[in-house]
Amino acid sequence: MGIYKIKFLKLYYLKYSQHPLFNSARKYLALVMLVFISNGISASSNDSILISQLLHRLDDLQIKENGIFPKGSIPSFRMYALNKTRYKADVNPFFTGLVSLTLQNLMPKLSASQQVQAKTIIDRATALYPKFKSRKHPERNTYNFWPKDTVQIFPNGGWLNLFNKQRAIADDMDDTVILLMAQNADEATAKQVHDLMQFYRNGYKYSINSTFDGYKNMAAYSTWFGEKMPIEFDFGVHANVLYFVQQYQLPWSAADSATLQLMTNIIKEKQYLSLANYISPQYARPAVLLYHISRLMALKSIPQLEDLKPSLIAETEKLLLTSDLFMDQVLLSTSLLRWGVQPPTISLNKSKELSSLIEDDQFVFFLANIGSMFPNSIKNTAYKTGAFRFTYHCPGYNNLLLLENLVLQQTLHKN
């Protein structure tokens, strides 16, 4: 196995720092470690240094004072699929919540000095979350992808912001469970939100019309809490919701079981490989979906998923050997590590610096896919054209994903 070999330090600026929306954040871009890639990812003494440097990079990227991005944010940017000329600053808690949640999970595996670095990032993020909590029903403890203190859709979206109030999206299960876990919500709050979720399952009031016929009668969770939003299934969201249920050891409901059944059907049919954007409109890519399902399985054993583990491992190994995106390889490597499998060697372009591989804007972990809520006839057309689709780029979260992989590599080699 090859290792990361430290070559030098260099002042490094994201190309987005030239965008006028990002000017105020330039001061947070500082020294980042650049390394030469030899053969692959493996545990080494240098990894601890790189982990610390990745934490430093995250700290530099995190916003310290309110501006274009609110204090505590890990900045992210969106690009319209039909206009790939520029990114726009997107104000959301999604990536920040994932950073905090992941760092909390990794905390016991970090060194004492790294724990201090991680805790600083986690604590600073807490100022952000109230901005996205429901104002209309604060007692519900639900959260939105976009700000609720001043309602917005597509922040910094120009003419789209004329429709902020009329077209505001509903709170969603994905952001809600991520942010509750990121804040270490108490068990009573977790139970209350879980009880609320039962009213937003397929068939309770409304039925889904944007999935395969064989899944239309399954009483799985919808992505949305809103009454005016259509029922929508998303494999990645379902994995996060069940992770929340397992994290808080909540009694499983009929909707939990239906959601698990839907997920197992999708895995058995390998639709997460061939139809990822259809069964998971917001995550939409096989490597990302495997990352989600492996995270759920690593938390606590679920027999129905354990039965599918050999197939999942085999498909992950095949994807890892054929993927040409570094960050996809990181996700797939992490998935194997969670399943207790030593990942194959990653073959990379040795001429590129690690910083550019990590913060590659071709890597998409999450996207906003408005067309996914339409009936199948319209949905399929929207997918083919790219209409209503916005991809997201978060350099800080990409750094966190590599950090997580290196920590899990170290853990596997210690055990």
Q: What's the domain range around 142?
A: 128-284
Higher pLDDT, residue 108 or 155: 108
The answer to whether residue 398 is domain-embedded is no
**Residues 27-48, mean pLDDT to the nearest whole number:** 46
**Residues 386-414, mean pLDDT to the nearest whole number:** 89
Strands in 367-369's sheet, in edge-to-edge order, are 83-90, 76-80, 389-393, 367-369
User: Is the per-residue pLDDT at 6 higher than 60?
Assistant: no
Number of domains observed in the structure of the chain: 1
Share of the chain above pLDDT 90, in %: 66
The answer to whether residue 175 is domain-embedded is yes
Higher pLDDT, residue 108 or 37: 108
The answer to whether residue 195 is domain-embedded is yes
pLDDT number for residue 105: 98
Contacts of 339 (CB under 8 A, 6+ apart): 294, 297, 298, 309, 312, 313, 316
pLDDT number for residue 377: 57
Tokens standing for residue 39: 């053969």
The answer to whether residue 261 is domain-embedded is yes
**Residues 39-60, mean pLDDT to the nearest whole number:** 78
User: Is the per-residue pLDDT at 21 higher than 60?
Assistant: no
Q: Which helix (H) or strand (E) holds 8?
A: strand 4-11
Count of CA atoms in the C-beta half-sphere (13 A) of 241: 32
The answer to whether residue 303 is domain-embedded is no
| 78 alpha carbon, distance to own chain's centre | 14
Its pTM stands at 0.87
The answer to whether residue 215 is domain-embedded is yes
List, as one string, the DSSP characters of 298-354. HHS--HHHHTTHHHHHHHHHHHHHH---HHHHHHHHHHHHHTT-PPPPPP--TTS-H
pLDDT number for residue 10: 26
pLDDT number for residue 229: 84
pLDDT number for residue 29: 34
Q: Cα–Cα distance between 151 and 252 in angstroms, integer?
A: 34
List, as one string, the DSSP characters of 210-265. SS-GGGTT--PBPSB--SSSPP---HHHHHHHHHHHHHTTPPP-HHHHHHHHHHHH
Contact between 3 and 42 under an 8 Å Cβ cutoff? The reply is yes
Model confidence at 365, in pLDDT bands (50, 70, 90)?
very high
Average pLDDT, the chain: 84
* Nearest alpha-carbon partner for 178 in 234, 257, 239, 118: 239
The answer to whether residue 26 is domain-embedded is no
The answer to whether residue 250 is domain-embedded is yes
pLDDT single digits (tens) 179-219: 999 999 999 999 999 999 999 999 999 999 989 999 999 99
Contact between 251 and 290 under an 8 Å Cβ cutoff? The reply is no
Model confidence at 177, in pLDDT bands (50, 70, 90)?
very high
Model confidence at 412, in pLDDT bands (50, 70, 90)?
confident
Model confidence at 344, in pLDDT bands (50, 70, 90)?
confident
Least confident of 46-55, 104-113, 230-239, 240-249: 46-55
What secondary structure letter does DSSP report for 133?
B
Q: Cα–Cα distance between 288 and 365 in angstroms, integer?
A: 6
